[in-house]
Amino acid sequence: MKLHKNVLHKVGSAILLLFLISCATLEKKIRIIEDFNENWNFKLGDYPNAIHSDLNTSDWRILQLPHDWSIEAAFNKENPTKQAQAFLPAGMGWYRKTFTLPENWATKTVSIEFDGVFKNSEVFINGHSLGIRPNGYISFGYELSQYLNFGKENVIAVKVDNDAQPNSRWYTGSGIYRNVRLVASEKLHVAKWGTFVTTPEVSAAKASVHFEVTIENKNEVPKEFKLKTSILDANNQEVANVVTTEKIGANTNSTKIHNLVVNQPKLWDTENPNLYKIVTTIYENSKTVDNYETPLGIRSFNFDAEKGFSLNGVPTKILGVCLHHDNGALGAVANKAAIKRKLTILKEMGTNAIRMAHNPASLEMMQLCDEMGFIVQDEFTDVWKKKKVTNDYHKDWDAWHKQDLEDFIKRDRNYPSVMMWSIGNEIREQFDSTGIAITRELAQIVKSLDTTRPVTSALTENVIAKNFIYQSGALDLLGFNYKHEDYKDFPTRFKGQKILASESVSALETRGHYDFPSDGIKAWPPKYGAGFDGNADWTVSAYDQVQSYWGTTHEANWKTIKKQDFMAGTFIWTGFDYLGEPDPYPYPARSSYFGIVDLAGLPKDVYYMYQSEWTTKPVLHIFPHWNWTSGQEVDVWAYYNNADQVELFLNGKSLGVKSKQNDDLHISWRVKFEPGIIKAISRKKGVVVLEKVIHTAGAASKIALIADKTTIKNDTYDLVYVTVSITDADGNLVPNANDLIQFEVTGGGKLVGVDNGYQAGLDSFKANSCKVYNGKCIAIIQSNGKKEKIQLKASTGNGINAATIEVGVQ
């Protein structure tokens, strides 16, 4: 039978369509995304000639990004950053990079992407200014194509101006402190942040997926193309797809919509964060010209005025912590391994949510929250038009807030972990009628880009007549900071409103330090500006007994929150200690006391209160240590769960059996110290659940080293954290040890940070040595690009036996 040409054409088109549908996992990646962090030159100071290609950079440093120059410097009381930014310097610096691109890239669209530069950056390519970006937390990029010399050397230069101080209430860091990428695509491509995925209907049987993609055509002629959307599961197997034929005009953008269905979806939640990805492919004349990936987590969630929060229909309390962006001894450097360690520690505590305080987080943080199962409150800013410190974001508000907010939403709206948009923290305009219009404007900007998540703001004023942000009527979810004693009145006061404790607690502790007695609650200082009798060594007791004047203790807050069904949950201030804001002390204190975990990542005792409440794993934690003066009265606390009683023994003699009374979250004994063994046994219906023992430690004898992983990647980024402890001959921690540890690293790694968690320590985080504090410190080792086993040697030179640990590199 003879076939007509039009039939052949239809058959051919059908075959092509079937081919496109069948090869989702076989696509060659056309879009080129290159790590652009290597081999930058850096110099502190102002060097306007840095934009020129003939500049002599022989006296400039060569380094790998991300980079924070502030953390490398010395603490100084006179630094204009003051205590809010840890007394570390800021200033101005320049970065330069020389690079060559292939000649065949001349037909492509080439862009550079910065995840974050703090702050006031200006980027130049071959002497041409591409633009400025004042906000140091916003991700941004520029197209380079028209200024590049393909096949020849190019020079990119970045000026970073963090000189105007103070400009923040916490440590910001200085420099190109997040990752940089070079992106090359064909002139017909998916636009930057050009996709938006939602899941309008979700059930165990199926999920509908609504997908919008913005295509950009930089060609001088219109284009016809095929657009394919594929959904791939965690094994890269295609579970749904759609292919359409589209047209686009010359030099224009066009948004296309695809709707898909995933059958028997694996839902994303905090225990099983199942992820898919969407692959967008553009074909022109049967040739692939672009592919673009978008994360997808299939989930549904709901905030309710009476029942709180639910995820996938399951009532779920938001058990959250607030986090600032620094990574301790690494400063502001965004390192995925450092962030993963932080989140792992919090996950083991039972945390299921993170509030990004008070700025857009790094991409690595956002990706890890997706991967590890954390609900995210994504927060835009700490400041609107009214300042909190002299040179903060209020100076850039009028010119930049709209673009900054739009870019923030576009960047983060595809992360399934994000379930709230916070437009501000403790904003001054809540006390001013101007807050009404600004709140409405910001909420409108958010909802023009995403209507699937509630808009909230962290408020401090819960009297309606005094709160103009609330009066705007633009918030979908009310976030309140502190004043936990008022929570019981909220259902009446804010009738029908959905409510979250957006920030709570602000208790103070130093790891391993204990003041007796432990049963009196102290506010340090008792009120704003008041003096108080603190400790001469700038410490705060690790018993949950000291709070800031505006806050409360961990136990009091959680006892209140857990009773309130209407309350969606809470975000504790803070998960980790952070650089800056060292309330309640002045210099030399330079990092915060608020964390449940100290700056080095070593848990304080209250960590185990949360673990006993927020997890189902058996917990029995007793403290303090057992090295005291004979006859001294020592308060022994126990946090426990999965048991109905705990019995305490001293040197084999029972000191009694106790159970938590009423709604208490701990039990305690007052014990006259005698050296030996303190032991606790938890029981449920008479059956032993757990046993914990603490020995009186003898003289310091050995160094114990424990690495958080056995191998690291040979990628020049990966990290291993080594916890260093001073022990006696029997391996018991010496709790008052303060020996100086010298570190020596050989093989495939380099030492990039040391810390002991002491909030008033002024030794450099970048030294080759570190004093243990209350028996412990950490060393951070980074891959150096050599595929050799890493060896860390730790020694004191004072008679304590040295120790060595090896870590593999692969």
The residue from 122, 186, 216, 426 that is catalytic is 426
Pairing of strands 238-248, 567-573: unpaired
Which runs of E-coded beta strand occur in 604-686?
620-623, 633-640, 645-650, 653-658, 667-672, 677-684
Pairing of strands 522-523, 546-547: parallel
Chain center to CA of 561: 24
Q: How far apart are CA 143 and CA 186, in angstroms?
A: 13
With beta carbons less than 8 A apart as the criterion, state whether 487 and 502 touch: no
Cα 221–257–281 angle (5° rounding)?
A: 60
Angle between helix axes 336-349 and 363-372 (nearest 10 degrees) is: 40
Of the candidates 202, 419, 372, 377, the residue with the CA atom closest to the CA atom of residue 300: 202
Q: What's the CA gap between 6 and 4, in Å, rounded?
A: 6
The span from the first CA to the last CA of the chain, in angstroms, equals 62
Instruction: Please spell the DSSP secondary structure of 690-702, one letter per residue.
Output: EEEEEEPP-S--E
CA–CA gap between residue 338 and residue 692 (Å, rounded): 30
CB neighbours (10 Å) of residue 426?
Answer: 19
- Residue 493 CB coordination number (10 Å): 13
Is 426 annotated in the active site?
Answer: yes
Residue 534's nearest CA partner among 589, 603, 581 is: 589
Where does residue 149 rank: exposed (0-12), middle (13-18), buried (19+ CB within 10 A)? middle
Evaluate whether 616 touches 642 at the Cβ level (below 8 Å): yes
> Is residue 212 annotated as part of the catalytic site, yes or no?
no
Q: Cα–Cα distance between 637 and 640 in angstroms, integer?
A: 10
Cα–Cα dist 481/424, whole Å: 12
Lookup: tokens for 657: 């059996």
Query: Residues 18-26: contacts with CB within 8 Å, 24+ apart?
Result: 20/226, 20/228, 20/243, 20/281, 20/283, 21/228, 21/241, 21/243, 24/228, 24/230, 24/232, 24/238, 24/241, 24/279, 24/281, 25/232, 25/236, 25/237, 25/238
Which residue in 503, 509, 555, 613 is the catalytic one? 503
Query: What six digits make up the tokens of 784?
Result: 């150096």
SS3 content of the chain, % helix, strand, coil (to 5): 15, 40, 45
C-alpha count within 13 angstroms, C-beta hemisphere, residue 242: 16
* Residues identified as active-site: 426, 503
